[in-house]
Structure 1
């Protein structure tokens, strides 16, 4: 069984929180010192996969494949799995698993950023890497 790893994005300060003195409840709510702080933070989970350089791939990461196409890693709730979505579909906000690049081999991709720290990577189209 793989370990459950996650990181926490502070929406107000726009930084990753390295201080893991938080409590993640089974219902997905995040608590600090007994207070529910879920609305101020974004929790992203490790997919269990590393990229071609050994870097851990998390939900919200932006990947570039071997052909230069850009994809965003998203959690697809209906199937309880992570998928990669081309950025045009991600930007539309209207994506589902039909926008998944099914032949993509994640371990051959490279993490080039994430949707939180690098929103500028989402401005082009999927072939702008």
Structure 2
């Protein structure tokens, strides 16, 4: 059976909060939280993809991962940075290519994006590694 779970980003406090603090009112659909003082307007939910990276880390929507795209137009020796999202067209979790990760001047930089910008997560999952997420490490997506 597939695990269905979420993590919750609190944009006011800039941290992840306990997802078990989220309560949904069945009568009106409103969400509220006990530990948060009830301010859930600043929460953003991210769903678990059901997959783990090569280190056993769960992969969530909004994660930034390092992976080798296994296609003929990609150099298999170079890892690429992908942002994980749910693709409504394919009805599947996908990685949106951000570019190749290069290091110079003591910092990581993104260079040249892949020819194909969207990859199904299943095509990337071998040797994939979570390196951050869009909230805590957005600099990984910057050039």
TM-score of the pair, normalised by structure 1: 0.73
Match of 1:65 among 42, 67, 71: 67
RMSD: 2.8
**Rg (Cα) greater in structure:** 2
Q: 1:110 is matched with which residue?
A: 129
Q: 2:8 is matched with which residue?
A: 8
Shift of 1:77: 2.4
The one-character-per-residue Cα deviations of 1:78-118 (angstroms, maximum 9, x if unpaired) are: 33321100126xxxxxxxxx731258421421000000100
Match of 1:87 among 98, 123, 129: 98
**Corresponding residue pairs, total:** 114
Shift of 1:63: 0.5
TM-score of the pair, normalised by structure 2: 0.67
Match of 1:100 among 106, 118, 128: 118
Distance 1:23 1:49 in 2: 26
Taking a change above 3 Å as real, the CA distance of residues 99 and 112 of structure 1, as seen in their structure-2 partners, is same
Shift of 1:19: 5.6
Gaps of 5+ in 1: 89-97, 125-129
Give the SS at the match of 2:32: strand
Structure showing the higher strand proportion among its residues: 2
Distance 1:41 1:70 in 2: 26
Runs of 4+ deviating beyond 4 Å: 35-38
Tell me which of the two structures has the higher relative contact order, counting C-alpha pairs closer than 8 angstroms and 6 or more residues apart: 1
